[in-house]
Amino acid sequence: MDPRKLLEQGDALLIVDVQNDFCPGGALPVPEGDQVIAVLNDWINAAVDRSVPVIASRDWHPVDHCSFEHRGGPWPVHCVQDTHGAAFHDRLQLPPHTIRVSKGTRFDQDAYSAFENTGLAGELRRRNIKRLWVGGLAQDVCVRDTVVAGAGEGFDMRVIRAATRPVDPANGRQALQDMQEAGARIEEAA
């Protein structure tokens, strides 16, 4: 389905964590993570054409963040602030007016959801945004938590399935179910 036919006023495109470290060759690679980029670039073009805001979240950790294995956390070192790994993938064609959201910036707390401690919900309301089209990485971690949180905040959440990939396939299937149960719609053909 052509994103131009789906996007309307009151929508935003929310791109979750399409950063080098989550793509093949990165520190915490999501299998086929880079395959979301072409799909998202189509959505970005459509969003720009329709004057729909584009929001891009990024995992943005301080050195020695609590989620890193050497600090007792579950993950290898990834997305350390101002490193190449933390940069948005350079094939992702973010427009100049992209609204950037950094998360996981505290030493002592992790944040999977782009809504967690960022003020994003209030900013979206201020802009009269009611519906969010979501893609990015990883389907079973930050996309899931962002979509579930957004639904809890009352936004109409639409997951662009082809624009997401999971770290783990079984967890990905569970995440799709979790997001649906939270009230989100999974857009298969979009």
Question: Under the rule (CB under 6 A), what is the footprint of ligand VGL?
Answer: 17, 22, 28, 59, 75, 137-138, 141-142
11: three-class secondary structure by DSSP = strand
Contact flag: residue 145 with Zn ion (CB under 5 A): no
Report residue 124 as tokens: 């979206």
Among Zn ion, ligand VGL, none, what does residue 190 contact (CB within 5–8 Å per kind)? none
d(Cα 10, Cα 168) in Å, to the nearest integer? 33
The yes-or-no answer on residue 17 being catalytic is: yes
State the residue number with the nearest CB to Zn ion: 59
d(Cα 50, Cα 183) in Å, to the nearest integer? 26
**Comparing C-alpha atoms, which of 101, 99, 182, 100 is closest to residue 147?**
182
* Residue whose CB is less far from ligand VGL, 46 or 115: 115
Report residue 178 as tokens: 């979790």
Please identify which of the residues 17, 59, 140, 145 carries the catalytic annotation: 17
Contact flag: residue 59 with Zn ion (CB under 5 A): yes
Residue with tokens 């999501």: 30
In the complex, the smallest distance separating the C-beta of residue 171 from Zn ion, rounded to whole angstroms, is 16
Contact flag: residue 140 with Zn ion (CB under 5 A): no
Residues acting as catalytic residues: 17, 103, 142
